[in-house]
């Protein structure tokens, strides 16, 4: 028995649920976009108030600016000479498809190393559009100007040298310290709904325990009263732990 030939998707397309949408001034795209924009939570942007337990460095900035500048210049010189550098942000890596900063890019959370992380992306069949489905080449890790690790193909070339970037080197002891701090804090707070100010105190305790004296804690404002639990966000370049309020998931326990 032959069945009538028609395109079911096309028929569905002609019955778009939005076809009967009422156009009112209140629901115009412009009005709605404006209202929604006002409700977006930008709290992890670094404009949040500083946690008062630790005195901000801001007031002392003028006093330390000159020595920091001199120290920075020395470090920059050292980096240029040594051509190696550790990433300021140990949490992510940018994988490039060619020795070209404008080539296709994918940004991934850092795993054991930048190359191991990006190798996985090259071998992922879901990413053929990114890397053209070709065999994984030899890879090399560099550090971008922004301090983020970046991995490039390195068949026959030194991508770091070609692009004028420093080669990546394993995180220094301070970064290891930061990762241990993060693991300890997550261990203490996971699956618990901890009030944000209390969360900040716990974060400060962990910073003190790790002797990370130049780090600070900030609490982002809660835009909704229902956001009663603190969660962890780390701004590595700013050396700031930001406590972000969010709604309590059903399976989390109240604490203490």
Partner 1 sequence: MWAARAGGRKGLVSDSTDDGDAVSRARTRAEFDALYKLHFARVRDFIERRVHVDDLEDVLAEVFTVAWRRRLSLPSDAKIQAAWLYKVARFTLLNWQRQDRRKRDLWDRIANEAATASPVETTASRPELFENALVEAAFYSLSPADQEIVGLAAWEGCTSDELALILECSPGAARTRLSRAHERLRVAMLRGSS
- Binding residues vs partner 1 (CB under 8 A): 3-4, 6, 8-13, 15-18, 20-21, 27, 29, 32-33, 35-37, 39-42, 44-45, 89, 91-92, 94-95, 100-109, 121, 124-130, 144-146, 148, 150, 182, 186, 189-190, 231-234, 242, 244, 250
Dist CA 44 CA 216 (whole Å): 15
b/e per residue 77-106 (b: at least 16 CB within 10 A): eeeeeeeebbbbbbeebbbbbebeeeeeeb
Spell out the alpha helix ranges (H) of the chain: 8-13, 29-39, 61-82, 114-123, 128-131, 159-163, 173-189, 196-209
* 46 vs 71 by CB, closer to partner 1: 46
User: Residue 77 or 146: which CB sits closer to partner 1?
Assistant: 146
Closest approach, Cβ 223 to partner 1, in A, equals: 9
Q: What is the DSSP letter of 236?
A: T
Q: State how far the Cα of 226 lies from the Cα of 78, in Å rounded to an integer.
A: 50
- DSSP β-bridge partners for residue 85: 168
Minimum CB–partner distance for residue 101 and partner 1 (Å): 3
Question: In the structure encoding, which two tokens stand for residue 194, read together?
Answer: 């901890």
Distance of closest approach, residue 15 Cβ to partner 1, in angstroms: 5
| Nearest to partner 1 of 9, 81 (CB atom) | 9
What residues contact residue 240 under an 8 Å CB cut-off, 6+ apart?
46, 215, 216, 217, 218, 234
Nearer to partner 1, 115 or 242 (CB): 242
CB of 17 vs partner 1, minimal distance in Å: 5
Nearer to partner 1 by Cβ, of 9 and 66: the residue is 9
- Closest CB 32 distance from partner 1, rounded Å: 6
Residue closer to partner 1 (CB basis): 44 or 208: 44
Minimum CB–partner distance for residue 131 and partner 1 (Å): 9
């Amino acid at each position: 028995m032959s069945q009538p030939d028609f395109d079911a998707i096309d028929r569905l397309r002609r019955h778009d649920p939005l076809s009967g949408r009422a156009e009112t001034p209140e629901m115009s795209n412009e009005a709605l976009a404006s209202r929604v924009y006002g409700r977006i939570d930008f709290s992890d942007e670094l404009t949040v108030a500083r946690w008062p337990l630790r005195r901000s460095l801001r007031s002392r900035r003028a006093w330390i600016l000159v020595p920091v500048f001199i120290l920075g210049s020395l470090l920059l010189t050292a980096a240029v000479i040594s051509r190696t550098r550790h990433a300021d942000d140990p949490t992510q890596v940018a994988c490039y498809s060619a020795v070209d900063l404008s080539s296709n890019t994918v940004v991934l959370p850092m795993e054991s190393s930048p190359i191991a992380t990006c190798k996985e992306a090259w071998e992922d069949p879901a990413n053929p559009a990114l890397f053209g489905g070709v065999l994984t080449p030899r890879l090399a890790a560099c550090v971008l100007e922004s301090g983020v690790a970046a991995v490039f193909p390195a068949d026959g070339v030194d991508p770091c040298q070609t692009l004028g970037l420093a080669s990546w080197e394993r995180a220094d002891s301070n970064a290891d310290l930061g990762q241990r701090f993060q693991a300890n804090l997550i261990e203490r707070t996971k699956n618990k709904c901890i009030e944000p100010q209390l969360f900040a105190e716990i974060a400060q305790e962990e910073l003190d325990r790790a002797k990370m004296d130049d780090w600070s804690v900030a609490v982002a404002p809660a835009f909704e009263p229902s956001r009663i639990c603190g969660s962890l966000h780390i701004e590595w370049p700013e050396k700031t732990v930001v406590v972000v309020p969010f709604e309590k998931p059903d399976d989390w326990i109240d604490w203490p």
